[in-house]
Structure 1
Amino acid sequence: MTWVVLTGRQNHLDQAATPHKVITNRDYLAHPALFRGQRPKVINLSNSYAYQSRGYYASLLASSRGHRVIPTVETMIDLSERKLYEHALPELELALNKCRKDLGGSFPAKAHVFFGIGPSKAWDRFAKLLFDWFRAPALEVSILDSGEWASIRKIGFCPLGRMSEEDKKRFLDAMDVYTAREWRDSKARTPARYTFATLVDPHEELPPSEIASLRHWARIAEKMGVEVEPITKKDLARLANYDALFIRETTTISNHTYRFARRAQQEGMPVIDDPLSMIRCTNKVYLNELMTANKVPVPPTVMIAGPADFELAAETLGFPLVLKIPDSSFSRGVKKCSTFAELKTLASEWMEESDLLIAQKFIPTDYDWRIGVLGGQPLFAIHYLMAKKHWQIVHHKASGKPDQGGIKTFTLKETPPHVVETAVKAARCIGDGLYGVDLKETKDGIFVIEVNDNPNLDHGCEDTGEKDEVWVRLTQWFLDRLERQGR
């Protein structure tokens, strides 16, 4: 990734102070061919961002040249008048006042926040939120503290030329943190046209992709002119610096993964998984109705909305049957009931959390087909074998450690055509992204169990059949959408 720092004057920032290219905004404006064929990330540190100033035009033209820039013209306009940003003040002031105790009970008249980092750790909550609202390298916040409640008088830019030596050192440290990369390859030779963010949780027990697999993808993507960088849930404010987002944490609409997907969509970035796919796939009630409406075969199903439906489920499906919480993943919230008493007890307990449950006919098999579908086309095929002495592919033991079944891999050519066709039909009902379709193959036909918006994709597992073509196609999916946008 190429970073370019724009200054108002040459003496405002010594080139030796940063590894990034430093030029004046005058030179940037006067030489539009300077970075032709590249896609630099631009940090605009102009003296002024006033309308029609050089600082203003630098960000405006950066956008037209396809360069990512901070701050954007929109941020400049937002901070030009208090009335344009006052809608953000209630949330910001609430976060600010939550810092009071850690700050010793009082606030300074002014505080400087650099790239979402405050003067000390005590400011973290407020500083990150401020940067989330207004992505600017250096902000100055004027504070009026009554002793009980601190209010924000003004939010403005803090030019390099007005910084003290101490603040300038803190600013440069913050810029180093902001521009740092974790998967930098010192031997990289192909200039990156794009940079893709990959949202990961290094501590997740069952991540959809292992870090080693994402490094493998990064090596393949690099050959296609793409740099892949990991980000975590703390990096929402930095998301706009990237060209695309691949979410590799278990998704749910109730946590940060959905916020990242929404933000990426708002920024016009191609994203897997997109918010609509997350909404559609994470709820099994919706999935069942959608598949049925589109004539995709699913197991016989009964919706349970209250105790009156317990007997209907028992009569319709018989025992054993499978009971599911609508929003569940990795076999959690999915239980087999062998008797009416078990059904009644479990359903009554789960309905304290969810107004609707799903009961489905139990279809025993030794494996589930998983067909990966990307952009409406099959991507990979695999058998997930059931966990040892268990009826699911993941057995969540009382000890807390999950037991997973093995796998058996296939090429797409080896996979029965009707399995692939059914999976593709199911995935196309959801959208155009990446999906993992789980199917059961029985003597009575194929049944779609669910469509996952966040399917496992690991090197040496799901890609075994189609090899690196899986990762090439994944990269190309993003590139096609970026190039359609002219980015």
Structure 2
Amino acid sequence: MSIYIVVNNTKDWKFNIPGAEVISNKAYLTQEEFTHVKNAKIFNLSKSYKYQSNGYYVSLLAAARGHKAIPSIATIQDMKSQAVIKVIGEELDELIQKSLADLRSDQFSIRIYFGKSVAKKHHKLSLQLFNLFQAPLLKAQFRYEEDKWELHTISPIAMSEVPEEDRSYVEEFARIYFEGKKFSVPKRDMSGYDLAILVNPKEEVPPSDAKTIQKFIKAAEQVGLSAYTITKDEYSDLAEYDALFIRETTAVNHHTFRFAQRAKAEGLVVVDDPESIIRCTNKVYLAELLKNNDILAPKTIIVHRDNTKQVIEEIGFPCVLKQPDSSFSQGVVKVDNEQEYKETIGKLLDKSELVVAQEFLKTDFDWRIGIFDKEPLYASKYFMARKHWQIMDWKKTGNQRFGKSETLPVELAPNGVIKTAQTICNLIGDSLYGVDIKQVGNKFYVIEVNDNPTIETGVEDTILKDKLYQRIMEIFLKKIKRMKDRKEK
């Protein structure tokens, strides 16, 4: 891989970084030789990234040439968005308060050079900000408001703006960055396409356990993909890959969603894509989608503070109350009488302006239909946990937490359950979904659509076994090739 450090004036960069060539942004934009370079990484240290400036065009043309620019156009836009900065500040709130706790002023700024701060106590915060707003040289500004520190702005800085006393640190941190594993690029083989699998080794109940992840990696190799696991700390490496497969429980106000957003902005194939995460993780959206498309579901009411009595009158008890963003059976409560209902609905409405209330349909199991790229892959029955009304009982631990499961060949599942699952998925997208459906006689009621469905060894793969993982990887490869073809046209 060719490495270029791009600056306004080459005299601004006086350091010798082995393996990196220093060029001016004008040279990168105008000299023919750079248009033909393959597999290059561009460290854009231009003085300005304003729209249509040289710095802006360096990152823009890098994308057109197939080069990996830092910062990318997506990062440049993110740094201009107060909405993005606010969300990032909220996620890093605990770290921000801890890092700045000893300060007595009402404003403070940190200069971040290749992910590090001159002050060691700010290293961890600097690395997290660099991972989220990846640019070689950054300045993060904080304000102390309402008894807490808040991230106010984050912006790139040019080499010419670095104080003289910091320049030796820039050289040191640059060397560490270029020599460290953070810059290493996965070894490419076979098709040359790389797949990142986002995992959280500490997650209590992940969508796929470590054993299953290894099956995905092996299947990827069999179809011509190189697959690697990454964690949330490797956000800055996303641009090195061709696709992202999220195997960590997703949520909108969470790093998994930002991974999906950034992957899409960088032109990667991403599962789950941001739109699917938004649509599937919110049960209010799903309830409205089902209603507007005449898809059978349990009797449902969207509850707000002004219509709480409507549930008592129209659904009755028992009924099920759901937080809009609940997952893995958490945030879903069955209430058996009016007193329980009033106590529970108040607590849920304190967390969300809207809550979903549904009639309770008692069944021995839920169907789970796995669909990827609009193709049904597996049909499983998830039985209720012992002495519990859900398939998972969070009050218990280990295997006792789950009910038993049974997987059937797709062609042996009722035709109605497969058609119902495909109908709702077609309205959401073409990503990987797990549709939960209750069967009552010959009727099929959609309970929810999971954008990040569980796929575990010995459960969903019982029928297809390793072919299930291979089929999923084949679809990834097809999507990657399809996206590459679109870019070339």
Matches within 5 A, 1:31-430: 35=38, 40=39, 42-44=41-43, 62-71=62-71, 113-124=112-123, 127-128=126-127, 131=130, 135-137=134-136, 155-157=157-159, 168-175=171-178, 176-180=180-184, 189-190=189-190, 192-193=192-193, 195-306=194-305, 309-310=308-309, 312-397=310-395, 403-430=401-428
User: 2-side partners of 1:334 and 1:59: how far apart?
Assistant: 45
Of the structure 1 ranges 461-470 and 393-402, higher mean CA displacement relative to structure 2 is found in 393-402
Q: Which runs of 5+ in 1 are unaligned?
A: 16-20, 79-83, 143-149
| Alpha-carbon contact 2:44-2:59 (below 8 Å) kept | no
User: 2-side partners of 1:153 and 1:237: how far apart?
Assistant: 16
Distance 1:452 1:235, change over 3 A: same
Distance 1:448 1:271, change over 3 A: same
Q: What's the TM-score, normalizing by structure 1?
A: 0.75
User: 2-side partners of 1:63 and 1:12: how far apart?
Assistant: 26
Q: Which amino acid aligns with 1:171?
A: A
Distance 1:482 1:315, change over 3 A: same
Report the 3-state secondary structure (helix = DSSP H, G, I; strand = E; otherwise coil) of the residue aligned with 2:329: coil
User: 2-side partners of 1:135 and 1:483: how far apart?
Assistant: 24
User: 1-side partners of 2:153 and 2:389: how far apart?
Assistant: 58
How far is the alpha carbon of 1:66 from its aligned partner? 1.9
Question: Cα RMSD between the aligned structures?
Answer: 4.7
User: 1-side partners of 2:20 and 2:331: how far apart?
Assistant: 54
Q: Which amino acid aligns with 2:284?
A: V
CA-to-aligned-CA distance 1:55-113 (integer Å, 9 cap, x gap): 9998776534423233558989x9xxxxx98999x9999999985666999x99x9874
Q: Which amino acid aligns with 1:350?
A: L
User: 2-side partners of 1:259 and 1:50: how far apart?
Assistant: 22
User: 2-side partners of 1:382 and 1:47: how far apart?
Assistant: 54
How far is the alpha carbon of 1:372 from its aligned partner? 1.3
Distance 1:410 1:13, change over 3 A: farther
Distance 1:204 1:126, change over 3 A: closer
Q: Which amino acid aligns with 2:311?
A: A
User: 2-side partners of 1:358 and 1:24: how far apart?
Assistant: 57
Report the 3-state secondary structure (helix = DSSP H, G, I; strand = E; otherwise coil) of the residue aligned with 2:448: strand
How far is the alpha carbon of 1:232 from its aligned partner? 2.9
Distance 1:408 1:470, change over 3 A: farther
User: 1-side partners of 2:218 and 2:281: how far apart?
Assistant: 31
CA-to-aligned-CA distance 1:409-468 (integer Å, 9 cap, x gap): 122222222211110101112122221100011215111111112211234432333323
Q: Which residue of 1 aligns with 2:145?
A: none
Q: What's the TM-score, normalizing by structure 2?
A: 0.74
Matches within 5 A, 1:447-466: 447-466=445-464
Report the 3-state secondary structure (helix = DSSP H, G, I; strand = E; otherwise coil) of the residue aligned with 2:325: coil
Q: Which residue of 2 aligns with 1:145?
A: none
Distance 1:127 1:393, change over 3 A: same
Of the structure 1 ranges 287-296 and 300-309, higher mean CA displacement relative to structure 2 is found in 300-309
CA-to-aligned-CA distance 1:382-409 (integer Å, 9 cap, x gap): 1112111211111010789981122211
Q: Which amino acid aligns with 2:472?
A: W
User: 1-side partners of 2:364 and 2:448: how far apart?
Assistant: 17
Of the structure 1 ranges 332-341 and 300-309, higher mean CA displacement relative to structure 2 is found in 300-309
Distance 1:178 1:409, change over 3 A: same
Report the 3-state secondary structure (helix = DSSP H, G, I; strand = E; otherwise coil) of the residue aligned with 1:342: helix
Q: Which residue of 2 aligns with 1:475?
A: 476
Q: Which residue of 1 aligns with 2:147?
A: none
Report the 3-state secondary structure (helix = DSSP H, G, I; strand = E; otherwise coil) of the residue aligned with 2:487: coil
User: 1-side partners of 2:291 and 2:155: how far apart?
Assistant: 56
Report the 3-state secondary structure (helix = DSSP H, G, I; strand = E; otherwise coil) of the residue aligned with 1:288: helix
Q: Which runs of 5+ in 2 are unaligned?
A: 142-151
| Alpha-carbon contact 2:112-2:138 (below 8 Å) kept | yes
Q: Which amino acid aligns with 1:172?
A: R
Q: Which residue of 2 aligns with 1:147?
A: none
Matches within 5 A, 1:435-446: 435-446=433-444
| Alpha-carbon contact 1:41-1:241 (below 8 Å) kept | no
User: 1-side partners of 2:456 and 2:304: how far apart?
Assistant: 38
User: 1-side partners of 2:56 and 2:397: how far apart?
Assistant: 59
How far is the alpha carbon of 1:371 from its aligned partner? 0.7
Distance 1:458 1:101, change over 3 A: same
| Alpha-carbon contact 2:15-2:171 (below 8 Å) kept | no
User: 2-side partners of 1:320 and 1:141: how far apart?
Assistant: 52
| Alpha-carbon contact 2:139-2:155 (below 8 Å) kept | no
User: 1-side partners of 2:389 and 2:243: how far apart?
Assistant: 38
Of the structure 1 ranges 399-408 and 113-122, higher mean CA displacement relative to structure 2 is found in 399-408
Report the 3-state secondary structure (helix = DSSP H, G, I; strand = E; otherwise coil) of the residue aligned with 1:395: coil
| Alpha-carbon contact 1:270-1:481 (below 8 Å) kept | no
Report the 3-state secondary structure (helix = DSSP H, G, I; strand = E; otherwise coil) of the residue aligned with 2:117: coil
User: 1-side partners of 2:421 and 2:81: how far apart?
Assistant: 49
CA-to-aligned-CA distance 1:177-210 (integer Å, 9 cap, x gap): 42257xx68xx853623x3333322211111122
Q: Which amino acid aligns with 2:487?
A: G
User: 1-side partners of 2:351 and 2:154: how far apart?
Assistant: 40
Distance 1:128 1:485, change over 3 A: farther
Report the 3-state secondary structure (helix = DSSP H, G, I; strand = E; otherwise coil) of the residue aligned with 1:392: coil
How far is the alpha carbon of 1:138 from its aligned partner? 5.2
CA-to-aligned-CA distance 1:225-249 (integer Å, 9 cap, x gap): 4333333333444433433332222
